[in-house]
Amino acid sequence: MTFLLTTSSSRLTISSRIEERLRQGELTQDRVDEFRDFLVEVDREFMQHRIITNNAYTRWFREGRATDEELVYFIKQFSVFSNQFLIAALQKVINSPTLQQSRASREILLNELGVIYRKLGQVGSSRVTQSQEKDREGDPELVSTEGTVDGGICRFQAAHFEWLIGVAEGLGLSYADIGKRKHGSPTTLHFCDELIRLYGSADPQIAEGASFAVENWAAAGFWQELEDGLTRIKQTRYPHLRLAFFTWHNRVEAQHAGHTLEELEEVYFKPDFDRTKFIQGGREILDAIAVFWDGLNSYQLSVIRE
């Protein structure tokens, strides 16, 4: 049995890793049953949150009907979230309670900053294919979506924010026009601040819940809706629009979500695990995510009314 991380017809369930620990006698049946009940609670509180199951903004955006004004506003707000996320990710690294969790957090942060994922077994090979060479150069259309940053190569142009600059430039924006707090709306900045407070929390139980919720939100389909909408816009209005920032994230986020379930399996069975705080961290960050998307949706609706 493997874990399932979808939001409508499927539910979180016990993984083969937990079943093996049960067979080995490391866990009792009662503890496994408790964990199964906890996953039901997580599914109800996190995976059924309205911003995961019914994101009105991305559902509208996927149709590709955003005007130039709406598109520019979206890219500006998303760039603020993307760039400010680095602060929360660094704080998560600093506050990690164990070396293993610190490394897991650094995987995400360093990749965001431009360290390319290295597929296991890639280093040491004497044969370098053309695509591998482009990987090293940070081509966002080709860089690996799986593996580890350990032993990976850093390239400035592989930084995720530089890919987003490429999208912005296609709309007439420049580096100076995006990413800073001064470009963020109140709802966007609320989300950024809550990421720092919750995702980067010094309380490991709050941080773990927020991390699990964030990664599973990211894997729940909104990237696909954004990619669909931008692809339609590229086909009809902006043929030179560079979309790699969105297409790459759409491919990679499932891997991040899988890692968070493994982390949860480790921390849940520790004596100091606090179910209440875990749920609190996840619920509060999902509410903040909803504020961000609701802000974008309110702007879109205000443009229509005008």
Looking at the predicted structure, is the pLDDT value of residue 296 above 60?
yes
Point out which residues pair with 154 in neighbouring strands.
115
- Over residues 15-54, the pLDDT tens digits come to 899 999 999 999 999 999 999 999 999 999 999 999 999 9
Point out which residues pair with 118 in neighbouring strands.
148
- Over residues 169-214, the pLDDT tens digits come to 999 999 999 999 999 999 999 999 999 999 999 999 999 999 999 9
- Predicted confidence at residue 252, as pLDDT, reads 77
- Predicted confidence at residue 7, as pLDDT, reads 35
Cβ pair 276, 209 in contact under 8 A: no
Span 259-265, average pLDDT: 78
- Predicted confidence at residue 8, as pLDDT, reads 37
Cα 158 to chain centroid, rounded: 17
Angstrom distance (rounded) from CA 24 to CA 20: 6
Span 151-178, average pLDDT: 93
The pTM assigned to this predicted structure is 0.86
Angstrom distance (rounded) from CA 191 to CA 85: 10
The mean predicted confidence, pLDDT, of the chain is: 86
How does DSSP assign the chain, residue by residue?
------SSS------HHHHHHHHTTSS-HHHHHHHHHHHHHHIIIIITSHHHH--HHHHHHTTS---HHHHHHHHHHHHHHHHHHHHHHHHHHHT-SSHHHHHHHHHHHHHHHTBPPB-TT-TT-S---HHHHHHHTT-TTTS-SSSBSTT--B-GGGSHHHHHHHHHHTTT--GGGSSSGGG--HHHHHHHHHIIIIIT-SSHHHHHHHHHHHHHHHTTTHHHHHHHHHHHHHHHT-TT---HHHHHHHHHHHHHHHHHHHHHHHHHTSTT--HHHHHHHHHHHHHHHHHHHHHHHHHHHHHHH-
- Over residues 209-246, the pLDDT tens digits come to 999 999 889 888 899 999 999 999 999 999 999 998 99
- Predicted confidence at residue 305, as pLDDT, reads 55
